[in-house]
Each structure stands twice: as C-alpha cells, then as structure tokens.
Amino acid sequence: MIIDGKQAAADLRKQLSMQVEQLQQEKNIVPGLTVILVGEDPASEVYVRNKVRQTRELGMNSQEIRLPVDTGEEVLLARLAQLNQDKEVHGILVQLPLPAHINEAKVLAAINPEKDVDGFHALNSGRLLNGSGDALVPCTPQGCVILAKRHLGEDLSGKHAVVIGRSNIVGKPVAILLLQENCTVTIAHSRTENLAEICRQADILVAAVGRANFVKGDWIKPGATVIDVGINRIEDAEGKTRLVGDVDYQAAVEVAAAITPVPGGVGPMTIACLLKNTLEAARRYG
C-alpha cells in the first residue's frame, strides 16, 4: 500500500476548513498566520508560497513578510516583538534557513510560544516531553503519526517503532509522539551499531536521517509501515535532478505493507499540520 500524503493532507484540510468556519461563527475569531522570509532562497520561496496559498484557501488570514537578505538580526527581532503583540496574528513562522549572520536559535526563542506554530520553542518542546497536552507540536512529526495511523488505525499500542534520526525538528519529537501512542520506541542514528538488524525489528520505521536511499530494502521487516521523511536531490544517469527519500523506495515497496512516497508523502502533511497548529493557537489564545 502506498500511503498517499497528498490525499491525507487534503482530508485534514477539509476538516480544518469546517473548524475554521465554526470558530468564526461561534467566537468571531479568524485564525491568522504570518510567515517571515529573509532573503531569496528559491526552495524557501516555494514553501512560503504554498503555505500562504493553503492558509487562505482554508479561510484563514495570511500575511507574508519578506525581508532582504542583509536584514540585521535586531530588525528581525523587532518585527517578531510586534507580531507577538498583534492580537490578529495567532501563528508566527520564520522560514528556515536564515542567513548566516542571524542567530537562528535566538530568533526562534523570541517567538511567543503561544504563537509558535512550528513547535520549535523550548517551552513547546518541554510541554511535548512532559505530555501536558498543551504543546504546539512540530508539524512534520505530527504528520508522520497521522500517516502511520492512516494504515494501522488509531491504536498504535504495542507497536515497535524505530526512528532513524535524532534531530530536534523530527527525530526526537516523533519519538515522543510515538511513545505517547504507547509504542515501544527505539531511536537510532549514525553511530548506532547493527542498524540494519534494529530496523528489521520495526513495525513502524521512520527514516529521518537526511541521506538519499540510505535504508535498504532488506533492512525492512516484511509487513512493516515505513514513513520516509527524507527529501534529497540526486542526479540520475542522464544528469537530471530528482527527489528521493531516505529509503530505497523501489526495494522497500516490495517488502513493506505500507510506505510513504517521496515526493507526495510526508511533505504535504507538514503544511497541513502547520494549518492545524494555527487553528489550535487561535482556539486557545485567540
């Protein structure tokens, strides 16, 4: 089975659209998302354009702030301080990566955690870890769990999940979310011994290592559910660039019971979960 992330994201957006309309009718609140882009990175511009378009399609307010690449750190922090106080703005997202002269950690820490729809603020990370239930959860990990449930159903209890990758953006938070779903979770990484053997034990395998075709077909347990977070650009024999995941898809699809494609898997869910977080922030703090 191919887990269709585009369809899953469309289904989630449909639910969110109804909830946005209900929130407006009941409380006269329209969720508002502001995206800040510093510089002119082509990939970032595509991401921002998609986020803005989908936000508006759901009936939310969307604001895009574009700043030149030489914008000073203090100028960016001042803009964030203004947005933190703006009651019409429920979600703030600073598109990464930032130019080298700007301290990324300092900028993310300056966002009001109640508006931190990326879920990267330390307070939201702490809330996620302690399971308080009021965290704004990073979008890609949310999407991974939703896609796993798309195949396995709502109850993931007792499943052995192996997460390859330990980043603060994907690896660690997705492991916590899977623990909260009562999975038994193993976090693996570049220094893990017998990595292939550990992967073969996984009922759910989440690959977030950032290396093209890293996970081989014979690493996968027959019947496993594979969630491929990787987005890697490679050149084929003809010199054409194409996107591939962290999993050798052609080999894995023969073994796994279900797998996300790249592109069209986790990526669409990331934006859908960003919109979900924006709605949640408006509900809580609007």
Q: Which one is catalytic: 19, 54, 116, 118?
A: 118
* In contact, 236 and 242? CB cutoff 8 Å: yes
CA 148 to chain centre: 14
Q: Which of 51, 159, 172, 276 is catalytic?
A: 51
Q: What is the DSSP string of 70-112?
A: T--HHHHHHHHHHHHH-TT--EEEEPSSPPTTS-HHHHHHHS-
- Say whether 51 is catalytic: yes
Given the residues 19, 95, 172, 248, select the one marked as catalytic. 95
Describe the crossing of helices 171-180 and 122-130 by its angle, rounded to 10 degrees: 30
**Which of 13, 6, 8, 42 has the alpha carbon at shortest distance from 151?**
8
Tell me if 100 sits within 8 A of 129, measured CB to CB. no
Q: What is the 3-state secondary structure (H, E, C) of 175-216?
A: HHHHHHCCCEEEEECCCCCCHHHHHCCCCEEEECCCCCCCEC
Are 109 and 235 in contact, with CB atoms under 8 Å apart?
Answer: no
How many angstroms separate the first and last alpha carbons of the chain? 40
- What does the alpha-carbon distance between residue 100 and residue 176 come to, in Å, rounded to a whole number? 30
Catalytic site includes residue 142: no
Q: Examine the residue annotation and report whether 134 is marked as an active-site residue of this protein.
A: no
Q: Exposure string (b/e) for 14-30, b if CB count within 10 Å is 16 or more?
A: eebbebbeebeeeeebb
Question: Hunting for tokens 């999407």 — which residue is that?
Answer: 143
Asked if residue 267 lies in contact with residue 111, where contact means CB atoms within 8 angstroms, the answer is: no
Enzyme catalytic residues? 51, 95, 118
